[in-house]
Amino acid sequence: ERQIELLEAGKEVVQETRRWDDNKEHSYAMRSKEDAQDYRYFPEPDLVPIVISDEWIAEVKARQPELRTEKLERYKREFDIPQYDAEIITESKRMADVFEETAALCGKPKKAANWLMVETMRLMKEHDMEAEDLTFSPVNLAKLIDLADAGTINSSVAKKVFEKVFTDDVDPEAYVKEQGLGMVNDESALRDVIEKVLADNPKAVEDYRGGKEKAMGALVGQTMRAMKGKANPGMVNEMLKKMLQS
């Protein structure tokens, strides 16, 4: 602070030895040192000179692991993910490794980050786990992302499947097939279910036809429940609107 004040006042900071006064909380000049010779520096004959080349320094730097700050900036630049996501993911080496491997496998870094930031964090909290305790493989997370993107399963089923991936590291493709969780796109099968939903919910049908748009949400929810979450939500919405207008 003393030196800053001197410089801000346009004065010179001189090379000197100063003494600190505890009572006054101030330092005082003791003696000046004009140059290095005044310090009586002299070489130690038993210590050989150490010459460090630029090449050696570069080699050592190349062997060092990527620092978190470097990784964070690279994630934002290379994967175009938000600052907050990059900060959370790079807090843990395990989380960062899962993210990078998943992104490389599925080619969808933003979706990989989203699964880690939302569902993974939720389940970690439920199971009282740290990121370093994660045991599921990036391969299975990448497969799950691809299944959802391809429309093989809808988002609600994808979340349920991920719970099994998270706890047991199951192969999502095999699990979806074994459990019959594939998304239903059969218009005939959906029509039968929707007809029953409309028949069982006359008040919601009346409300929607009376201009209450929120009633559609209730009918969609009833249809999805009847289909055990396996219906294509977009198709359900479209078919409901057509059938309600007929």
Q: How far, in Å, CA of 132 to CA of 126, rounded?
A: 15
Topology of the domain comprising 187-245 = Arc Repressor Mutant, subunit A (1.10.10)
Contact 224, 184 (CB under 8 A): no
Query: What are the start and end residues of each CATH 1.10.10.410 domain in the chain?
Result: 187-245
pLDDT of 131-147, one tens digit each?
999 999 999 999 999 99
CB 154 within 8 A of CB 230: yes
pTM of the predicted model as reported, rounded to 2 decimal places? 0.65
Residue 136: what pLDDT? 97
The whole-angstrom separation of Cα 82 and Cα 75 is 9
Tell me the backbone φ, ψ of residue 34, rounded to 5 degrees.
-70, -40
DSSP-derived 3-state class of residue 171: coil
pLDDT in tens, 191-215: 889 999 999 999 998 888 888 888 8
Residue 229 near residue 156 (C-beta atoms within 8 A):
yes
